[in-house]
Amino acid sequence: MKRLRLMVLIGSLWLCIEPVWAGFNEGMAAYAKNDYIAAFKEWKPLAMQGDAKAQHNLGVMYEYGQGVNQDDNQSVMWYQKAAEQGNANSQANLGLMYAKGRGVRQDYAQAVYWSRKAAMQGSDIAQFSLGDCYDNGHGVRQDYAQALDWYSKAAMQGNAAAQGNLGLMYEYGKGVAQDYGQAFNWYQKAIAQGNTAAQVNLGTMYELGNGVDQDYAKAIDLYRKAAAQGDPTGQHNLNLIYSRLRR
């Protein structure tokens, strides 16, 4: 999904305070010590008995190869089991797996289906994902107003990816009246969390003088920060601005 790789991690470990069965806390303690094999041994029996939180955690472990060989198919299988029991984290992650075609055939309709279920439960990752689907017309008819709504929900929860994309919507007037001030504010929030796409976008505003006083020094600083984090667009823009300034 467009820009998704810049802004979000697929896996989110479900941190449970009150486990249903004994062994869950032991798994959490082992996981916190990076003893993934021990954590897996604690959670696997619980997952087999139907515990949705343990199932979700196995999905994460298979997705990232923690204590087991990395296996997207197994990851999807465990996310599916937990998602069908209403686990919002697994619903969100399953939606992303469908969007990316990892462990399953790429299917945006399924991505929207599971993302919506999680988004309705308040998952900021799913809210961002659903906004991205509406933004790009993946699995749904393109609808900038809907994209803006879901980005806003996720952004208000502190999701940096959504904050960056919300800034983009305001900058270009997508689903809302163009507002450089709002764009600037949301970019700043995303940048405070290290979001490279927002660094590039705000850098472009400074380079072109869109809604701010033109300031090449600030543009270069933002491009440099993005490039230092491996953002190819940041590096590209940095090269271009240096090239123009040498002329």
Give pLDDT tens digits for 76-92. Answer: 999 999 999 999 999 99
HSE value, Cβ hemisphere, 13 Å, CA-based, for 142? 5
pLDDT score, position 16: 46
CA distance 166 to 92: 20
Token code pair at residue 16: 């449970």
CA-wise closest residue to 133 among 4, 20, 220, 42: 4
Range in 17-31, 60-74, 87-101 the model is least confident about: 17-31
**Global pTM value:** 0.87
Query: Under a CB-based contact definition with an 8 Å cutoff, are residues 13 and 31 in contact?
Result: yes
Reduced to 3 states, what is the DSSP secondary structure of residue 144? helix
DSSP reduced 3-state for 217: helix
pLDDT of residue 72: 98
Name which residue leads in pLDDT, 131 or 1. Answer: 131
Q: Give pLDDT, residue 245.
A: 85
8 CB-contact burial (10 Å; exposed 0-12 / middle 13-18 / buried 19+):
buried
- pLDDT attached to residue 22: 61
pLDDT of 146 reads: 98
Q: Is 69 left (phi over 0), alpha (psi -120 to 50) or beta?
A: beta
Residues 221 and 125: their CA atoms lie apart, in Å, by 29
Q: Where are the alpha helices (DSSP H) in 33-107?
A: 36-48, 52-64, 72-84, 88-100
Provide the pLDDT for residue 21: 53
pLDDT at 185 exceeding the cut of 70: yes
Q: How is residue 213 annotated by DSSP?
A: -
- What's the whole-number average pLDDT of the chain? 92
| Whether 38 contacts 18, CB under 8 Å | no
Encode pLDDT of 114-157 as tens digits.
999 999 999 999 999 999 999 999 999 999 999 999 999 999 99
Output the CA–CA distances (angstroms, integers) from residue 158 to 104, 207, 224, in the order listed. Answer: 30, 27, 24
Segment 36-75, tens digit of pLDDT: 999 999 999 999 999 999 999 999 999 999 999 999 999 9
- pLDDT above 90: percentage of residues in the chain: 89
Arithmetic mean of pLDDT, 177-192: 98
The pLDDT value recorded for residue 201 is 98
Mean predicted confidence (pLDDT) in 1-15:
40
